[in-house]
Amino acid sequence: MGDPVIAVGAPLGLDSTVTSGIISALNRPVTPGGSGSSTAAFINAIQTDAAINPGNSGGPLLDMAGRVIGVNSAIARVAGSQDPVDGQSGSIGVGFAIPSDQARKTAEQLIATGKATHPVIGVMLDTTYAGEGVKIATSSSNGNPPITKGGPADKAGLKAGDVIIKFDGRPIVGPDEFVVAIRAKSVGDAVELTIRRGTSERTVKMTLQAAN
């Protein structure tokens, strides 16, 4: 964090615009369109204060050597604001870019197969849980069980109500962060989860599968 970056794009229709700033944060969970949307795209984002406005989307985020490190994708918006250029949103020093390795991975999948997949562990999370980590739901929702039969979590012995507190050794603080941590991986990757069940903790390994 703190490294200087340059954003390139056409904000507000102004072609060939360049803005500069720094990397403000890494691995920021971002859900453009809102996490409540069934089509929300979860991003394990690079956060930058380089000025980004509507129209920058799809432009590169560069380091000082001119290397593409991300693809400008989203901006923060003041709560309740509907118009992205109404003077209360747009560039407020909080923009987000998809890391270049994730963008490359998706592009390669689209070229090879015509579709992109993302990895899952096969659990539903309890979004009302407010404790440490994330909690696997204890009951079915819309006919879907808390743990998918035959999925990675099922094979690893996870149970409804288990609390996941670490992913590959990294503490997890919320559902969105957990989802983007998984999606930053690839189908077939082996990962480790630290699980709390009651008063005991243990670490389990599993192999990520593609979402159906």
Q: Where are the beta strands (DSSP E) in the chain?
A: 4-9, 17-30, 43-48, 60-62, 68-75, 95-99, 119-120, 134-135, 163-167, 170-171, 190-197, 200-207, 209-210
Tokens at residue 72, please? 């400008």
Instruction: Give span(s): CATH 2.40.10.10, the chain.
Output: 4-113
Highest average pLDDT, of 42-51, 52-61, 131-140, comes from: 131-140
Q: Which CATH class is domain 119-210?
A: mainly beta
Mean of the pLDDT values across residues 60-82? 83
Question: How does residue 32 score in pLDDT terms, banded at 50, 70 and 90?
Answer: low
- Overall pTM surpassing 0.85 (yes/no): no
pLDDT for residue 88: 46
Whether 98 has a pLDDT exceeding 50, the answer reads yes
CATH topology of domain 4-113: Thrombin, subunit H (2.40.10)
Between residues 5 and 32, the one the model is more confident about = 5
Residues 88/75, Cβ–Cβ less than 8 Å: no
Distance between CA atoms of 104 and 210, rounded to whole angstroms? Answer: 18
Question: How does residue 80 score in pLDDT terms, banded at 50, 70 and 90?
Answer: low
Report which DSSP code applies to 41: P
Instruction: Give span(s): CATH 2.30.42.10, the chain.
Output: 119-210
Distance between CA atoms of 201 and 1, rounded to whole angstroms? Answer: 32
Query: Which amino acid is located at 192 in the chain?
Result: E
Tokens at residue 204, please? 């389990």
Whether 85 has a pLDDT exceeding 70, the answer reads no
Between residues 38 and 89, the one the model is more confident about = 89
Residues 85/53, Cβ–Cβ less than 8 Å: yes
> What average pLDDT is seen over the chain?
86
Whether 129 has a pLDDT exceeding 90, the answer reads yes
Whether 146 has a pLDDT exceeding 50, the answer reads yes
pLDDT for residue 39: 39
